[in-house]
Amino acid sequence: MILTILASLLSLVYAFVNGFGSWMVARRKPWISALFMLAAAFLIVAFVGFIKGFPHNLYILAAGLILASATSLINAYIVLGKVTWRHHLYRLVAGLAIFAIAYFALN
């Protein structure tokens, strides 16, 4: 039960991070902003799926986490012009940690 609450809250926090990323690039590259918002939408649906006990929630969460990491990398490459691999590695580790917590919560 505690792992489910933790996984749901972490997916919600990760969705807020993507919403902030969307807001930051909305004027420069609207299509990257849309990708951030799509990742946030997947993560919010995963949050609701944890609350409602949706059995296939791991797929939705994985899609949101993968899209969030990929969009962050695209943003660094196209908008910022410089990829700091260390930051993307941290983001990947955070996504994997959220997924691992969710996996153990649902299984």
Q: What is the pLDDT of residues 58-104, one digit of tens each?
A: 999 999 999 999 999 999 999 888 899 999 999 999 999 999 999 99
Task: Compute how many other C-beta atoms are within 10 angstroms of the C-beta atom of residue 19.
Answer: 18
21-71 per-position pLDDT tens digit: 999 999 999 999 999 999 999 999 999 999 898 888 999 999 999 999 999
- Phi and psi of 26, rounded to 5°? -60, -40
Class of residue 71 by CB neighbours under 10 A (exposed 0-12, middle 13-18, buried 19+):
buried
Q: What's the confidence (pLDDT) of residue 106? A: 87
pLDDT of 55 reads 82
Query: Which residue has 């917590």 as its token pair?
Result: 101
Query: What distance, in Å, lies between the first and last C-alpha atoms of the chain?
Result: 11
Q: What pLDDT does 107 receive?
A: 83
Amino acid (1-letter code) at residue 17: V
